[in-house]
Amino acid sequence: MAQVELKDVSKRYGSVEVIRDLNLMVEAGSFTVLVGPSGCGKSTLLRMVAGLETISGGILEIAGTRANDLDPVARGVAMVFQNYALYPHMTVARNIGFALKIAGLDKAEVESRVREAADVLQIEHLLDRKPANLSGGQRQRVAIGRAIVRDPQVFLFDEPLSNLDAELRVSMRVELARLHQKLKATMLYVTHDQTEAMTLADKIVVMRDGRIEQTGTPEQLYSDPDNVFVAGFIGSPRMNFLSGEASQGLVHLAQGVTLPCPSTLSGPVSVGIRPEHMTPRGGRAHSLPVTIDMIEYLGGTRYLYGRLANETPVAIEARDNTGIRAGEQIDVTFDNHSVMLFDASGKRIRSAAPIPS
Ligand SMILES: Nc1ncnc2c1ncn2[C@@H]1O[C@H](COP(=O)(O)OP(=O)(O)OP(=O)(O)O)[C@@H](O)[C@H]1O
Ligand SMILES: [Mg+2]
The domain ranges of the chain are 4-229, 237-349
pLDDT over threshold 70, residue 356: no
Distance 39 CA to ligand 1 centre (A): 5
In whole angstroms, what is the distance from residue 48 CA to residue 45 CA?
5
Alpha helices (runs of H) in 64-207, residue ranges in sequence order: 92-102, 107-121, 136-148, 166-183, 194-200
pLDDT over threshold 80, residue 354: no
Q: In terms of CATH architecture, what is 237-349?
A: Beta Barrel (2.40)
pLDDT over threshold 80, residue 286: no
For atom 14 of ligand 1, the residue with the nearest CA is 41
For atom 7 of ligand 1, the residue with the nearest CA is 13
* Proportion of the chain above pLDDT 90, given as a percent: 72
Distance 153 CA to ligand 1 centre (A): 26
Is 16 touching ligand 1 by the criterion CB < 6 Å? yes
Stretch 102-119: mean pLDDT: 92
pLDDT of residue 194: 87
- The rounded mean pLDDT for the chain is 91
pLDDT digits (tens, 9 = 90+) for 40-54: 999 999 999 999 999
Is 87 touching ligand 1 by the criterion CB < 6 Å? no
Distance 133 CA to ligand 2 centre (A): 27
* Confidence bin at 19 (pLDDT 50/70/90): very high
In whole angstroms, what is the distance from residue 335 CA to residue 44 CA?
41
pLDDT of residue 84: 78
Strand order in the sheet with 288-297: 278-280, 329-334, 288-297, 302-307, 313-318
pLDDT over threshold 70, residue 283: no
* Confidence bin at 357 (pLDDT 50/70/90): very low
pLDDT of residue 168: 81
Peptide bond into 72 cis (omega under 30): no
* Phi, psi (deg, nearest 5) at residue 242: -110, 140
pLDDT digits (tens, 9 = 90+) for 193-219: 888 999 999 999 999 999 999 999 999
Is 15 touching ligand 1 by the criterion CB < 6 Å? no
Stretch 308-316: mean pLDDT: 94
Categorise residue 51: left if φ over 0, alpha if ψ from -120 to 50, beta otherwise: left
The SS3 call for residue 216 is strand
Is 82 touching ligand 1 by the criterion CB < 6 Å? no
* Confidence bin at 320 (pLDDT 50/70/90): confident
Is 38 touching ligand 1 by the criterion CB < 6 Å? yes
Enumerate residues 6+ apart whose C-beta is below 8 A from 286. Answer: 257, 333
Predicted structure pTM score: 0.91
Is 199 touching ligand 1 by the criterion CB < 6 Å? no
Q: What type of residue sits at position 198?
A: M
Answer whether 4-229 and 237-349 agree in fold.
no
pLDDT of residue 6: 98
4-229 has which fold? Rossmann fold (3.40.50)
For atom 27 of ligand 1, the residue with the nearest CA is 38
